[in-house]
Amino acid sequence: MLIKSETPEPEKILEVKDLKKFFDIKQGFVGLGHQTVRAVDDVSFFVNKGETLGIVGESGCGKSTMGRSILQLQKPTDGSVLFEGIELTKLKNGQIRKLRKDIQMVFQDPFGSLNPRITIGTMLREIVNTHHVVNKTESKSYVEELLEQVGLKKSYYDRYAHEFSGGQRQRISIARALAVRPKLIVCDEAVSALDVSVQAQILNLLQKLKKDYELTYLFISHDLSVIKHVSDRVAVMYLGQIVELASKEEIFEHPLHPYLRALLSAIPLVNQPKRERIILSGEVPSPINIPEGCRFHTRCPFAKDLCKQKVPAFEQKKDGHWAACHFA
């Protein structure tokens, strides 16, 4: 047996390397005009077992596409996704299907992600039976137990999705992800569609389940406060790339990239001296025409000539703090 050192190196459960996902758009007569949307453009990161990695970025920056590419719901254009050392991008459909027992997803839209025509009990039971989580005879009581674990009543077993509120539906989505006893759950904007008070309930539920089942989360959101609440480490995405990645404390206390600094300076403070705001001008460029050089230079208040010419490397600036900026 291997002798473990005093502070064991955290085990990587998921490792994403150079992940790319491009979409082709055909335009004009018989599709002669041809453009490419670079939704996820060369993203690399890893998730340690038992932690929550928050991915934050504004709408359209490729967060959700990245989540779907990791789960192989959309085939990535290039790059590799290693889950516990298994390369997911090269697996055949049947093999991926079996691996889905370990990686689950909670979807954004609590109204669209549940089938309107079947009862939630039937839906959950089908998943449990497909993956042989428990004996077929026990699956009903297992599903009822599952409903109670996510804060719903056993009696909801025979109800249809439209009979629930948004928060309850998201609990059902969580139950669905949890049903197969996964190791990793990708939460794609899992609370964005909910009221703030309901958001808090769902976030607390997720935290509780994480403890109870030793889960690992990849938590995708556009909401900095939500990310700050749930994450151990945080990655900031801008236009299909990760521009900064560090532990939560580090990244919120000492942001390096001008993008994150600008975002954080926009949060209003109560009972504290006013701080200097960094105002971003302009709009996010289209992922069809990504700017040359640093992709943030068109909006960066500190941009120099170098930024227009050279792409900054995503490198370790401090211990465990990565950023893609020439001047950080």
Partner 1 sequence: MGEPQLQSETVNRVQINPLRKKRNKSYSKLMKNKLAVCGGIFVVLLVVLAVFAPLLAPFDPTKQNYGQILKPPSATHWFGTDTLGRDLLSRIIFGAQVSLKAGLISVGIALTIGIPLGMISGYFRGFWDEFIIMRVTDAMLAFPSLVLALTLAAVLGPSLNHAMIAIGLVFTPYFIRLARGEVLAQREREYVSAARASGLRNFSIMMRHVFPNILGPLIVQATLNVASAIIAEASLSYLGLGTQPPTPSWGAMLAEGQGYISQAPWISIFPGLFIFLAVISINVFGDGIHDWLDPKLK
Choice from 4, 75, 92, 162 touching partner 1 (CB under 8 A): 162
DSSP classification of residue 247: E
At closest approach, how far in Å is the CB of 66 from partner 1? 15
Beta carbon nearer to partner 1, 71 or 325: 71
Neighbours of 261 (CB within 10 A): 18
Taking alpha carbons only, the member of 266, 207, 198 closest to residue 54 is 207
Find the helix or strand (DSSP H, E) in which 141 lies: helix 139-149
Rounded Cα–Cα distance for residues 130 and 172 (Å): 18
Beta carbon nearer to partner 1, 139 or 298: 139
The answer to whether residue 65 forms part of the interface with partner 1 (CB under 8 A) is no
Beta carbon nearer to partner 1, 49 or 101: 101
Choice from 113, 149, 247, 265 touching partner 1 (CB under 8 A): 113
Choice from 12, 17, 49, 101 touching partner 1 (CB under 8 A): 101
Q: Is 201 exposed, middle or buried (0-12, 13-18, 19+ CB in 10 A)?
A: middle
Pairing of strands 216-221, 52-56: parallel
Binding flags for partner 1, 70-99, as an x/- string (CB under 8 A) = -x-x-----------------------xxx
Give the amino acid at 70: I
At closest approach, how far in Å is the CB of 189 from partner 1? 11
Q: What is the phi/psi pair of residue 167, to 5°?
A: -65, -40
**How many residues make up the chain in this entry?**
328
The answer to whether residue 318 forms part of the interface with partner 1 (CB under 8 A) is no
Choice from 12, 17, 49, 100 touching partner 1 (CB under 8 A): 100
Helix (H, G, I), strand (E, B) or coil at 306: helix
Give the amino acid at 90: K
Q: Which of residues 132-161 bind partner 1 (CB under 8 A)?
A: 160
Choice from 118, 205, 278, 311 touching partner 1 (CB under 8 A): 118
Beta carbon nearer to partner 1, 19 or 177: 177
Rounded Cα–Cα distance for residues 135 and 154 (Å): 19
**Residues at the contact surface with partner 1, assessed by CB under 8 A:** 68, 71, 73, 97-101, 104-105, 107-109, 112-118, 126-127, 130-131, 160, 162, 173, 176, 179-180
